[in-house]
Amino acid sequence: MKSLSKTFLAVLATGVLSCAVFSQQAQATAINGDIQFAGEVHFDTNSLATATRVVTWFDVFHNAGFSSVTSGTGDFAGIAPGTQATMAQPWIFIPSTPTPGLWSVGGFSFDLLTSTIVTRNAGTLHITGTGIVSGNGFDPTSMDWSFTTQSSGGRTRTNFSFSANGTAVPDGGTTVMLLGAALGVLGMARRFLMS
Closest alpha carbon to 103 in 30, 37, 31: 37
Following CA atoms 136, 140, 146, 147 in sequence, which dihedral angle do they give, to the nearest 10 degrees?
60
Q: What is the pTM of this model?
A: 0.70
Q: What does the pLDDT read at residue 159? A: 79
pLDDT of residue 18: 53
Instruction: Return the pLDDT at 10.
Output: 52
What is the dihedral sign for C-alpha 29, 30, 35, 39? positive
Residue pLDDT tens, the chain, 195 long: 555 455 555 544 555 545 554 554 455 699 999 999 999 999 998 888 999 999 999 999 999 999 999 999 999 999 999 999 999 999 999 999 999 999 999 999 999 999 999 999 988 999 999 999 999 999 999 999 999 998 766 665 677 887 888 754 444 444 444 445 554 554 555 555 556
Whether residue 103 contacts residue 81, with contact meaning beta carbons closer than 8 Å, is answered with no
pLDDT of residue 28: 64
Question: What pLDDT, on the 0 to 100 scale, is given for residue 163?
Answer: 83
Q: Per-residue b/e over 81-113, b at no fewer than 16 CB within 10 Å?
A: eebbbbbbbbbebeeeeebeebbbbbebbbbbb
